[in-house]
Amino acid sequence: MRAKVTIIGAGNVGATAAQEVARGDYADVVLIDIVENLPQGKALDMNESGPVLGYEAKITGSNGYEESAGSDVIVVTSGKPRAPGMSRDDLVATNEAIVQAVTGAAIAQSPDAIIVPVTNPLDAMCHVAKSASGFPKERVVGMAGVLDTARFRTFISFETGASVRDIQALVLGGHGDQMVPIVSATTVGGVPLSRLVTQERIYSMVERTRKGGGEIVNLLGTSAWYAPGAAVAEMVASIVLDQKRVLPCTAYLEGEYGIDGLYMGVPATLGAGGVEEIVELELTSDERSELDVSAAAVREVVAVLS
């Protein structure tokens, strides 16, 4: 019997995530949106691409939640996207109400699911989903670090000419301009990045990573969707297939990294139980200080929540 993954929000991110999960061919997908005919139309289009792309997974579009019953994972992408000039934090009031409502509706049908919030401001929306669901911390884990790390790896590849497959990196902290690319843990083919690139160029790549989402918003007039959708699929696969991948995720901390009572991006083992372990890295003093600054920025946004 196939697993079931529900994705709430059939916009760019949700639809891309749905197709990427379907292409993995391990789970059927339910795509939910309030816009009449939108999820149904996108689902039909994706089903018709199955014979070409070679997957058997079924995608169901719906304006309600009945079809989502018994889901293993619920991905929440619904909410207002960023526009040029907006920060992720500007969305907090609008998206809090949306995430709260859809989370409640989804868990009524799937009380044993694991929730993966994607809606911005991501760190704050994880708190909303945890509160609205009443789920234990292990079963609410946000998608941010996989995306931010992918951007960092991309920029390193641009700079060095190396294959992205040979670049190992991690971006921790809040999903905002205070995110923390961990340069001390970044390697290219096993060689530390600092031996290949000047500190000036490393700083430039770090800053571009921190502003990576905004760069795309300025180019497109809206938020990115291909890389976020792919990042969602990587997390979902690790959970549903119990892969035990160590991925940078937004997890609830209770003392790890000296941070308590806050959702933050950290390396976490993702498996069938959700967040099964938080991995604590040895950080440099500068990285530790930057992580504390990032945590303070996240707390400011969380404090705005009603």
Residues tagged active-site: 175
Give backbone dihedrals phi and psi of 91, rounded to 5 degrees, phi first: -90, 0
- The whole-angstrom distance between residue 68's C-alpha and the CA centroid of its chain comes to 21
Residues 6+ apart with CB under 8 A from 52: none
- The whole-angstrom distance between residue 177's C-alpha and the CA centroid of its chain comes to 16
**Which neighbouring-strand residues pair with 144?**
none
Q: How far apart are CA 128 and CA 140, in angstroms?
A: 10
Residues 6+ apart with CB under 8 A from 50: 22, 56, 57
Which class for 286: exposed (0-12), middle (13-18), buried (19 or more C-beta within 10 A)?
exposed
DSSP label at 185? G
Q: What's the first-to-final CA gap in the chain, in angstroms?
A: 41
Strand pairing report for 245-254 and 260-271: antiparallel
Cis peptide before 111 (omega within 30 of 0): no
The token pair at 202 is 């490393």
